[in-house]
Chains A and B, each alone.
Chain A
Amino acid sequence: MAYSPKVIDHYEHPRNVGSLAKDDPAVGTGVVGAPECGDVMKLQIKVDEKTGKIVDAKFKTFGCGSAIASSSLATEWVKGKTIDQAMAIKNTEIVQELSLPPVKIHCSVLAEDAIKSAIADYQKKAAAKKTEEQAVNA
Chain B
Amino acid sequence: MDDPFDVLGLEPRYDLDDRAMHRRYIEQGAANHPDRFTDPLDQADAAERTARLNEAYRVLKSPELRAEALMARWGGSAKGDDKSLPPELLMEVMETRESMEEAKAGGNQKKLDEIARWARDQREEALRGVAELLTQAGPMPQADRPPLLARCRVSLNVLRYFDRMIDEAKG
Question: Which residues of A approach B to under 8 Å, CB–CB?
Answer: 31-40, 42, 60, 62, 106
Residues of the B chain whose Cβ atoms lie less than 8 Å from the Cβ of A35: 79, 83, 85, 156-158, 160-161
Contact present for A40 and B83 (CB under 8 Å): no
With A33-B83, A33-B85, A60-B98 as contacts: A40 and B90 at CB distance below 8 Å = yes
Checking A31, A38, A42 against B160 with a beta-carbon cut-off of 8 angstroms, the contacting residue is A38
Partner of B90, one of A31, A36, A37, A106: A31
Interface SS majority for chain B = helix
Q: How far is the CA of A62 from the CA of B164 in the complex (A)?
A: 9
The answer to whether A36 touches B94, judged by C-beta atoms less than 8 angstroms apart, is no
Query: What is the interface of chain B, defined by CB distance below 8 A to chain A?
Result: 79-80, 83, 85, 90-91, 93-94, 97-98, 101, 156-158, 160-164, 168
- Least CB distance from A94 to B in Å reads 18
* Residues in A neighbouring B160, C-beta threshold 8 A: 35-38
- A9 → chain B closest CB, angstroms: 22
Give chain B residues whose Cβ lies under 8 Å from the Cβ of A42: 94
Given contacts A40-B97, A60-B98, A62-B97, contact A33 B90 (CB under 8 A): yes
Residue contact A34 to B163, C-beta cutoff 8 Å: no
- A36 to B153: give the CA distance in the assembly, Å: 12
Q: Are A36 and B161 in contact, with the CB atoms below 8 A?
A: no
Question: A63 to chain B: closest CB distance in Å?
Answer: 8
